[in-house]
Structure 1
Amino acid sequence: MNNQNLAKTNLTQMVEDKIRYQIEGGLLKPGGFVAAERILCEDLSVSRVTVRRGLERLVDNGFLERVHNRGYRLPSLEISTNKATAILLLHAYENNEFLSDKDHLQIFKGARTESVKCGRSILIYPVGPEELNESKLNELKKIAGGILVDHPEDSFLNTIELAGIPVVQFHNDGFAPNFDRVSQDDMGGILQSVEYFYNQGYRKIGYLDSSKKLLEVSLAGNSLRRKSGYLMGCDQNGLQPIIANMDLSSLDAESGMKELLEQNMDALIVPHREIAQKVSRVLTEENSKMPVIIWGKYNDKPIENEIGYINWNKKKMGEEAVKRLHEKILTPELESRTILIQAELVLNN
């Protein structure tokens, strides 16, 4: 791509980002119109062609709809039908966080694709646990045939279910067995990583564990399952676990890394990509060439020492979540189940 085309792409993306942030943060309500093209041109200092290109891309991706002679608006089923058939995707992230995250964007694309197949619209709706009162539930029931939830609290799902709205949890896991969930296979990818290192001759495989701190705030679901995968891999291969604690909330990996290095580990599994750069910094300071496998892809370029990463299909998670929710809407008496999205170790070339 030449520089001119790259600049054009970046400006178009800037237009998309602005509107997506408004949608995600609840600043643009279902049925509400985007600001006029002229206003967007002035606000972003771009041409009208660029603004229109960005808006049309949002239409193509299902975020907006075009209304003749009026502009672009966020779809709302209240405009097209009196029946509550929409799928609502509820999250509690800060403004700009949900769709600016690549994982969430892919999940939403999968959810949108499957929603079209089911003949339903899908809307993103930011709602925190403290906002889910009777008034809010009544508001949701007017438009929601079912709800997808990216919240870890089982109580949040229970409140929605008691209100008579079919609900499926995705991405963020709780513990109660009586809810439908679509989860990434936390154990499998870590287990594959241990086995890979073992087959390559490594016998002192270190692991940074965040579950201790997260247990204190009841958010350790993913961390506990990943740790279980590591412990299972060690047990199956006759290895002694080498574990150090870390605090994911403060992204503190340095103390845990030094503890692992003192135990002479010869390979490392990092179960959270958020700390990848800090891990890399410690290894660089120690002049260590130790191989590292990271959960998730940190960016387009691997960090130093990274030989592979654990990947799972985010788009498929969105598709499966909508598919399961659609089944529940049609057949409410279905027994609850958990659908696992397979994770796999991907080696860097």
Structure 2
Amino acid sequence: MINENKPLYIQIKEYILQRIKDGTYKPEEVIPTERALCSELDVSRQTVRRAIQDLVYEGYLYRVQGAGTYVFDKKLNESKKSNNIGVILNRTADELESKLLSGIESYIEKHGYTLTFMNSNEDYRKEAENIQKLKNNGVAGIIIMPSENQQDSSAISDLKDENYPFVLVDRKIKNCETDAVVSDNIDGAFQATKHLIDLGHQKIVFIKNRYTITSSIQDRITGYKKALKEYGFEDDEILFLSYNENEKNDDQIYDEIYEYITKNKITGIVALNDYIGLLIVKMARKKNLKIPKDFSIVGFDNNEVVKHIEVPLTTIAQFPEKIGYHAAELLIQKINNKNSNDLSSRMVHQIYYPTKLIIRSSTQNI
């Protein structure tokens, strides 16, 4: 099989492609593993991997995390083309995600598209599986809220390499520059921190749970740090508390937060999100602390619940319905321009939607 005038990975690619065409590797069936192909063809795994990757990019194969590489049934899927949009979110029970979905639906219904929704439950393997299911069902494009832990998943980067129409919402992916519509989390956290500084607070801590990987969380941390730096705080005055809700129950978390803020004489708290803000309010109630007398707190999201607790929470409002609406708008533009030779149709578009400080009863002058 060796042809010295042709790169080896190209020869492997042609070998696999020929077996797809002659029916040895049948549509929607798994092909031999990389290890098996290496043994059969006496080549390196890197060579086989590159050949398979090219065939994935060209739409002949697709990968399912933990299950293998499958033959893509092009004839079947060409017959399924429709005005249907796929949407993959994490937990639609969350207020933010239900509003994202509402915004997406609002736009696509006006433009003659239907919607197929799938839930990934923050599982990158489920996300990869859902992406392939939607492609197999012939959706015109996909809107994705990436799962927290991407690990070694290449499902989203594969979409980019294939020039498949998709848009990310709420979060971006490190080292994968692609179309996305997200909140301006840096500016939101900056506003939250600046609000506390303007009220005279000098001991301000950023409190989060264990998650730190997503772009939205990293951007909020960046915004908090940026505000402190711009207002003259030193490095040792940039304070963080992170707890792991998988290892501790609520009472243990309350104790951890209480001990930290009392030991460090904290007067201001920037919470990663409103759920953490609500947890801190519950902690204060249990420990007989008064908000905002003993400390002020700012949340993030403007969820409905924090408007109606005993101390309505000052927070940073996001606008997920508008984010979903603009994500759908951007996706349909990409679908319509998919075969265009216009350079602008291949440009990456990232929209940062403004946030807004909502002042309520949980903050006051020190």
TM-score normalised over the length of structure 1: 0.66
Write the mapping of 1:12-31 to structure 2, written as runs, cut at 5 A. Answer: none
Write the mapping of 1:8-47 to structure 2, written as runs, cut at 5 A. Answer: none
Residue 205 of structure 1 is matched in structure 2 by 204
Q: Tell me if structure 1 keeps the 8 A contact 2:160–2:178.
A: no
Residue 341 of structure 1 is matched in structure 2 by 353
Would the alpha carbon gap of residues 292 and 86 (structure 1) be closer, same or farther in structure 2, given more than 3 Å must change?
same
CA distance in 2, matches of 1:266, 1:178: 39
Residue 18 of structure 1 is matched in structure 2 by none
Residue 123, structure 1, aligned to residue 116, structure 2: yes
Q: What is the number of equivalent residue pairs in this alignment? A: 260
Which of 139, 144, 152 is equivalent to 2:139?
A: 144
CA distance in 2, matches of 1:196, 1:133: 41
Q: Structure 1, residues 301-337: CA drift from partner, whole Å, max 9, x if none?
A: 4445555111111110111111111121122342123
Residue 296 of structure 1 is matched in structure 2 by 301
Residue 326 of structure 2 is matched in structure 1 by 320
Q: Tell me if structure 1 keeps the 8 A contact 2:277–2:299.
A: yes
Aligned residue identity for 1:287: L
Q: Tell me if structure 1 keeps the 8 A contact 2:274–2:299.
A: yes
Give ranges in structure 1 of 5+ residues lacking alignment: 1-77
CA distance in 2, matches of 1:233, 1:131: 38
Residue 287 of structure 1 is matched in structure 2 by 289
Would the alpha carbon gap of residues 344 and 174 (structure 1) be closer, same or farther in structure 2, given more than 3 Å must change?
same
SS at 1:168's partner residue? Answer: strand
Would the alpha carbon gap of residues 202 and 129 (structure 1) be closer, same or farther in structure 2, given more than 3 Å must change?
closer
Aligned residue identity for 1:241: I
Q: Structure 1, residues 92-129: CA drift from partner, whole Å, max 9, x if none?
A: x4xxx42x332222111111111123322222134564
Q: Tell me if structure 2 keeps the 8 A contact 1:157–1:169.
A: no
SS at 2:140's partner residue? Answer: strand
Residue 81 of structure 2 is matched in structure 1 by 83
Residue 242, structure 1, aligned to residue 239, structure 2: yes
Residue 7 of structure 1 is matched in structure 2 by none
Residue 158 of structure 1 is matched in structure 2 by 157
Q: Tell me if structure 2 keeps the 8 A contact 1:292–1:305.
A: no
Q: Structure 1, residues 198-227: CA drift from partner, whole Å, max 9, x if none?
A: 2122222222144xx435xxx342221111
Would the alpha carbon gap of residues 220 and 169 (structure 1) be closer, same or farther in structure 2, given more than 3 Å must change?
closer
Residue 179 of structure 1 is matched in structure 2 by 178
Which of 326, 332, 336 is equivalent to 1:330?
A: 336
CA distance in 2, matches of 1:135, 1:262: 47
Would the alpha carbon gap of residues 183 and 248 (structure 1) be closer, same or farther in structure 2, given more than 3 Å must change?
farther
Would the alpha carbon gap of residues 295 and 269 (structure 1) be closer, same or farther in structure 2, given more than 3 Å must change?
same
SS at 1:207's partner residue? Answer: strand
TM-superposed deviation, 1:133: 7.1
TM-superposed deviation, 1:286: 4.7
Q: Tell me if structure 1 keeps the 8 A contact 2:274–2:306.
A: no
SS at 1:144's partner residue? Answer: coil
Would the alpha carbon gap of residues 121 and 247 (structure 1) be closer, same or farther in structure 2, given more than 3 Å must change?
same
Residue 218 of structure 2 is matched in structure 1 by 224
Of 237-246 and 129-138, more deviation after overlay is shown by 129-138
Q: Tell me if structure 2 keeps the 8 A contact 1:291–1:305.
A: no
SS at 1:214's partner residue? Answer: coil
% identical aligned pairs? 15
Residue 96 of structure 2 is matched in structure 1 by 103
Residue 188 of structure 2 is matched in structure 1 by 189
Q: Tell me if structure 2 keeps the 8 A contact 1:242–1:263.
A: no
Q: Tell me if structure 2 keeps the 8 A contact 1:308–1:347.
A: yes
Would the alpha carbon gap of residues 248 and 342 (structure 1) be closer, same or farther in structure 2, given more than 3 Å must change?
farther
Residue 19 of structure 1 is matched in structure 2 by none
Instruction: Give me the CA root mean square deviation.
Output: 2.9
Residue 10 of structure 1 is matched in structure 2 by none
